[in-house]
Amino acid sequence: MFTVDNLKKSLQLFKEKIDKNKEYLSELDTPIGDGDHGNNMARGMDAVTESLQSKEPATIQDIFKLTAMALISKVGGASGPLYGTAMMEMAKASATTSDALPILEAGLAGIEKRGNSKPGEKTMLDEWAPVIEAIKNNKLNETTLESAVEATKDIAATKGRASYVGERSIGHIDPGAMSSLYFFQSLMEAGVLDA
């Protein structure tokens, strides 16, 4: 379940993980993209932190909304609008519930719609979908997070920049799936997801 406190905590942890792994995320984006995913996400999460600090949102919905707006306006890469749309859809869903599952499902649907994508195409959805499935079945743990990212190695990309290298993307982890792992880890550590 989301609360104002655990959502704020989650976003703070997410920012810390992105900062810590910025170089690694950009390295993952080098063979199959343009090497900027770590920088994109770090710039985005800096803007999120600044916005939350200056505006002091008091509801889950407002926190998600400000997060979405900061990501959409500050990240040039594909990941900004995609994460931003996820957060905007989570804001909308949180008007009627604070349960994590329906809120995260709304986020997933937002990414699919904005990205015109589905799981199985070597994108962040290949982390989001199995994680949400595991939450549904009460089976989420660290292994779920890691094996989903690892499994993106076997997929030939058909969406985003990585689709330009197609079959040659096989053997490489998708950077957006990796940053999404940090997002879900943050939710777990902040106590949003009981696992």
Q: How many whole angstroms separate alpha carbon 42 and alpha carbon 96?
A: 31
Tokens of 154: 């076997």
Count other Cβ atoms within 10 Å, centred on residue 54: 8
Find the binder of ligand ADP among 67, 123, 144, 169 (CB under 6 A): 123
Of 48 and 125, CB closest to ligand ADP:
125
Structure tokens at 167: 């079959």
User: How far apart are the C-alpha atoms of 157 and 168, rounded to whole Å?
Assistant: 9
State the number of binding residues for Mg ion (CB under 5 A). 6
Q: Does 34 interact with ligand ADP (rule: CB under 6 A)?
A: yes
Question: Residues 162, 173: contact at Cβ < 8 Å?
Answer: no
Per CB under 6 A, 79 contacts ligand ADP:
yes
Q: Looking only at residues 26 through 55 of this chain, which bind Mg ion when binding is defined by CB under 5 A?
A: 29, 33-34, 36-37
Restricting to residues 73-92, name those near Mg ion by CB under 5 A: 77
How far apart CA 34 and CA 50 sit, in angstroms, is 27
Rounded to a whole number of angstroms, the CA Rg of the chain reads 15
Q: Rounded distance, CA 81 to CA 116, Å?
A: 12
Cα–Cα dist 56/60, whole Å: 11
123 contact, one of ligand ADP, Mg ion, none, CB 5-8 Å limit per kind: ligand ADP
Q: Which stretch in 65-73, 101-109, 117-125, 138-146 sits in contact with ligand ADP by CB under 6 A?
A: 117-125
Q: Please report how close the Cβ of residue 144 comes to ligand ADP at its closest, in angstroms.
A: 18
User: Smallest distance, Å, CB 158 to ligand ADP?
Assistant: 9
- State how far the Cα of 150 lies from the Cα of 170, in Å rounded to an integer: 11
| 117, interface contact from Mg ion, ligand ADP, none, CB < 5-8 Å by kind | ligand ADP
169 near ligand ADP, judged by CB under 6 A: no
- Is 112 among the residues that bind Mg ion (CB under 5 A)? no
| Helix ranges, 56-118 (H) | 60-74, 79-93, 100-115
User: Footprint of ligand ADP on this chain (CB under 6 A)?
Assistant: 29, 33-34, 36-37, 40, 77-79, 82, 111, 115, 117, 123-125, 159-161, 174-177
Residues in touch with Mg ion (CB under 5 A): 29, 33-34, 36-37, 77
